[in-house]
Structures are given as structure tokens and as C-alpha cells.
Amino acid sequence: MMSSNDRQKISVIVNGKVMALDNDVSVLDLLQLLEINNRRYVVVINDEVTPKSMYGMTELKQSDRCDIISPISGG
């Protein structure tokens, strides 16, 4: 039987840094892993905005670029 430690890992670039994740991890799983509790953010995968309703259904793939974007001051 395959344990969680034996699962195949994938490399995903999250906010510019490489992360090793399980190969079936969803965007929602990633947000929970990162403990992002903010109410105001947008997830962008490979330069495309991911709708909030799709977080649970969207699985991350090898070499995906995932950015979590939040508001900031601007001029």
C-alpha cells in the first residue's frame, strides 16, 4: 500500500518560490497549507485568474506557476 510519504511529488512555483506538493493537491489544499485566511485575494495560475468557485476542483500540475495576489497601496 502506498503511504502519503510515498506519493509522487510535483514542483510548483508558488509566489516565485519552488514548492514540492503532492500530485493531487488542489488550490484549496494549497491555501490551507499556506494558512492564508485573508478574505481578499485572488489566485492566479500560469497568468490566468482562477475563480473562487473552482479552488476545490482545480488540481495543481507539475511546473505550474501559482501566485496569490492581494491588495496593496498604490498611486
* Interface with another protein (CB under 8 A): 15-16, 34-42, 44, 47, 49, 67-75
Q: Where is 29: in which H helix or E strand?
A: helix 27-33
Identity of the residue, 26 or 45, whose beta carbon is nearer to another protein in the bound complex: 45
Identity of the residue, 1 or 20, whose beta carbon is nearer to another protein in the bound complex: 20
Least gap, CB of 44 to another protein (angstroms): 6
Least gap, CB of 29 to another protein (angstroms): 17
Terminal alpha carbon distance of the chain = 56
**Rounded distance between C-alpha atoms, residue 1 and residue 17, angstroms:** 32
